[in-house]
A and B are shown apart, each in its own frame.
Chain A
Amino acid sequence: MIKVTYIHPDGSEETVEGREGDSVMSTALAQGVDGIVAECGGSMMCATCHCHVDPDWTDRTGARKDGEEDMLESAASPVDEFSRLSCQIKLTPELDGLRVRLPEEQV
């Protein structure tokens, strides 16, 4: 299992376990972590699973996927260089311990 920590806008943290191959988005939904809407279900057609990857982890989460940039333009909260669509980050063993911050708003 791969541990992921979601940091809410109020600073509170939730750490849950996900399966290899699942996304940071689907892991949050499966474990009942609030703050991710994922209206399109992971087809990269909305920006309601926006998250900010902790700067220490961006090397391992890698670059944004093709088309992700365009979709982030529709995000409800401000986007920065650490912004990602959490549906596009797939869990791998090297992401064990990943930390992501959730934005104020998704819609």
Chain B
Amino acid sequence: MTLIEGHRPVTPDQSIPVWDTDPYDPAVLADPYPWWAELRERGEIVYIPKWSAFAVGRYEVTKTTFSDHEVFVSSRGVGLNDFKLGDPWRPPSIILEVDPPAHTRTRKVMSRALSPKVAKGLGEQFRAAADTLVDALLERGEVEGVSDVAEAFPVSVFPRAVGMTDVHKRHLVDYGAIVFNALGPDNAIRRAAMERAPEVAAWINAACARDRLTEDGLGGMIYAAADEGEIEAGEAAMLVRSFLSAGVDTTVTGIGNALWCFSRNPDQWEALKADPKLIRPAFEEVLRLTSPVHTFCRTADRDTEVAGHPIEEGAKVLCALGSANMDPDKWDDPEAFRIDRKPMGHLAFGAGIHGCVGQNIARAELEALLGAMIERVDRIEPAGDAIWRPNNAVHALDRLPLRLIAK
């Protein structure tokens, strides 16, 4: 049988609308909002012939499908490739790309290392780094939001929190982007990522070794769990790799998108300066509106149904988290950026048993950075057009010229 993008081609049930489109077209990825609107418009689920896959984008069905880990499994890959039918480009993640009970065991170790308590403990050191960075940015006035802020901040705090003894900014940021691009089809974006993969992955894998980490960081906590026998030594390195795949490019994107939101909505920056208590809800609203992780897939592990439509075993379902986060049936005036919205239930961190295990760290980083900014930065103004960088799973900026005006 000929596979399509590493999965078995499926024949859609007649009741399912067929949409001749490409969600991974660079133009769609650069501005996905109209595509998401049409996806929701067309039905509960659509069939996309180009990749022989289904897609969902209305809130309820997306949430249900994405979190139904018994039927819609992760162990067959959260991109278009079906791991049951072929080996992925790198050994699968032992947390993201596994199902219970294997998942339960590794997730427990990871969630302990990334608990709210741990994140709180890191807050002070994150804040000190943010203070220093923002002071330096204000000296310059005009900055490039992506590289000078969004990339610079996580790279200055996260590897240190993990306990890494050496830091390579480009590799750290790009590894995540490569991993996420690999979730899409074999398009030009994925091919470009794969070309860089050997070099970057080799650096990352080496950096996950125990002797490259301090004992007192997040990485040390994972190796300590291996000492306790909770996981195996080899698994510890794999989990540290997960920190680096999922923990850098995502927060880089979160910060870039936050700056984009505030530079385009000065009234909301005024509101944030006036009420620091809104920092945390403001980040949730940034996540809802911009969905840094825009799409992940699931695979039907048996014949099943989605919203009453039959779906066959082996089918890939694209879950457009970004679309669910913009569904007008769920969110009042979804296009509006309102920092006091408190968008409980947004899907930017996923949902269910795989829901982002690093979310407390992400929140702590944003809290530190926005906290430092509201004390020092009076206004954040666009100093040129924002340019988005098409990625098969991440909704991220490429360039964001900004003018920062000190208080």
Contacts and interface: CB of A to CB of B under 8 A. Distances in A.
A and B held together in a complex: yes
Interface of A: 29, 38, 40-47, 66-67, 70-71, 73-74
B108 A73 contact: no
Nearest to A67: B108
Given A43-B351, A45-B111, A73-B117, A38 B344 contact: yes
Nearest to A46: B116
Contacts of A71: 111, 115-116
A97 B115 CA distance: 32
Contacts of A38: 344
A40 B108 CA distance: 16
Contacts of A73: 115, 117
Contacts of B120: 74
Contacts of A67: 104, 107-108, 111-112
B276 to A, nearest CB: 15
Contacts of B355: 40-45
Contacts of B117: 73-74
Interface in B312-363: 344-346, 349-357, 359-360
A46 B360 contact: yes
B350 to A, nearest CB: 7
B111 A44 contact: yes
B111 A70 contact: yes
Contacts of B359: 40, 43, 45-46
Nearest to A43: B355
Contact of B360 (A42, A45, A66): A45
25 contacts: A40-B355, A40-B359, A41-B344, A41-B351, A41-B355, A42-B352, A42-B355, A43-B350, A43-B357, A44-B355, A45-B355, A45-B357, A46-B359, A47-B116, A66-B104, A66-B108, A67-B107, A70-B108, A70-B111, A70-B112, A70-B115, A71-B111, A71-B115, A74-B115, A74-B117
